[in-house]
Structure 1
């Protein structure tokens, strides 16, 4: 349970840092790429065994880290685009409601059995994420704005399912650090290739704020994945319960941090979402 709590704390801190990016005018794309380099470095440092890349490339999970790394940065950019086109609320709901995908995956492929209380808790979690993410204006989908949120939903869900799959079938406990590092390394490489191509038309300028922002983001970003995988290795809770607790707790904590740090105001629906989140966590964790 401690690993899950630490993953929630790190993930919620990421949202706070993103808000600070806006305050200090940090260019998110370049900070994100720097963050992936930092996250990869942290993982390599924490890996307790000798790093043998000739051995690593032959591991059963290696090609998966390549796909995951590319997915990480693609989904992030889709989230940014969805926020611009459909609104931040829509992008947030699409991202967090993706928790339903790993839950269904765990039940179908791992034959995980959920109690009636857990099923009710998961359904309440979906409602909680929706209401806690809503802004004062209601969320309305049109044909033009539906595609991007749908892609964000699918992308986030696929990442969660992939992490769960590799943990269940390919990763030993001592490999979590190096697996996470390689995933972030490929994400960084993908980003560097992107800005390298972009720099052909427009030369890049080094911005210290972007680098500092990326360094500050990289550490909690790494540990959010590291502790989540460690939590999934805990046999006390199944993956469906862990993903539900993780996503709902992140929504709840990041919302409260927004109130405490940035003086954000919540609507009655937001408070209702937080209340539902607390109930859903109790149902999933205790039963």
Structure 2
């Protein structure tokens, strides 16, 4: 249970750190790229197996990590914008609700059966993403209020689905740590290439504050995955129970942090969306 609690803590901290980026004027893209470098290095340093980096390109899953690297950069940027412009709770719920996408993927690819309760859970998840995104502000419709959480929902689901596919078809159990570190490294490379392409128009300037922000993000980013994997080794709880507790607790804890630290206002509709989120996760994960 300690590992699960630590995974929840580190995952929730990611949303809070994104919010702090706007407070301290940290450039999100540069910090995100630094974050992936740090997360990759952390993974390689903590891997206790025989890591031969020169053999990684020969792995069947190697080229897939490049696509995942692009997705990681895209999703983290969307996550940051959602946390900063709409709220930590919205980003958290949109990310966690994306678990319905790998469920649908399993139905189509692996012919898994969908119970009535799971179907209801998927519909409730979609409703939750909308209701938790509605803000009681001046009556001005902003497309970002819907578009950002939707993109975050789809992008996060694509990542989970890709990782599920890699685990099912290509990965050995002992390759998971090195696979994760390689994905983080690929994301860093994709980000660096993107910056170099932009360099002629926007000259690259080394900013210590951006690097510090990336380090602050990279460490919890890695350990949120590390402790979740460790929690899954616990025989006292099955994986469905662990994923359910993890997702529900992150939604609730990150929302609580948003209220306490950033004075985020949660409307009645938002609370209804959060309630739907919790119910949908329970239905999808447990039944």
The alignment status of 1:39 with 2:43, answered yes or no, reads no
The alignment status of 1:88 with 2:90, answered yes or no, reads no
Contact 2:31–2:214, Cα closer than 8 Å, also in 1: yes
Contact 1:245–1:281, Cα closer than 8 Å, also in 2: no
State the TM-score, normalized to the length of structure 2: 0.80
CA 1:133–1:230 in structure 2 vs 1: closer, same or farther (change >3 Å)?
farther
Q: Show the counterpart of 2:190.
A: 190
| Offset of residue 32 of structure 1 | 0.7
| Offset of residue 135 of structure 1 | 1.5
Contact 1:164–1:232, Cα closer than 8 Å, also in 2: no
Tell me the SS of whatever aligns to 2:99: helix
Tell me the SS of whatever aligns to 2:204: coil
Tell me the SS of whatever aligns to 1:204: coil
| Offset of residue 254 of structure 1 | 1.5
| Offset of residue 140 of structure 1 | 5.8
What does 1:1-287 correspond to in 2, within 5 Å?
6-77=6-77, 88=86, 92=91, 97-137=97-137, 152-227=152-227, 236-237=238-239, 249-284=249-284, 287=287
Which stretches in structure 1 are left out of the alignment for 5+ residues? none
CA 1:210–1:141 in structure 2 vs 1: closer, same or farther (change >3 Å)?
closer
| Offset of residue 100 of structure 1 | 2.6
Which stretches in structure 2 are left out of the alignment for 5+ residues? none
Looking at structure 2, the residues matched to 110 and 20 of structure 1 have their Cα atoms a distance apart, in angstroms, of: 41
Looking at structure 1, the residues matched to 56 and 124 of structure 2 have their Cα atoms a distance apart, in angstroms, of: 41
Deviation string 1:185-235 (CA, Å, 9 cap, x unpaired) is 011111112222333344322211111110010011123344556678899
| Offset of residue 66 of structure 1 | 1.4
Deviation string 1:233-285 (CA, Å, 9 cap, x unpaired) is 899346xx877765554333221110122222211112222333343444455
Deviation string 1:148-195 (CA, Å, 9 cap, x unpaired) is 776555433221210111122222332221111111101111111222
Looking at structure 2, the residues matched to 275 and 30 of structure 1 have their Cα atoms a distance apart, in angstroms, of: 35
Looking at structure 2, the residues matched to 223 and 53 of structure 1 have their Cα atoms a distance apart, in angstroms, of: 21
| Offset of residue 13 of structure 1 | 1.1
Q: CA RMSD in A?
A: 3.6
| Offset of residue 141 of structure 1 | 8.1
Matched pairs, number:
281
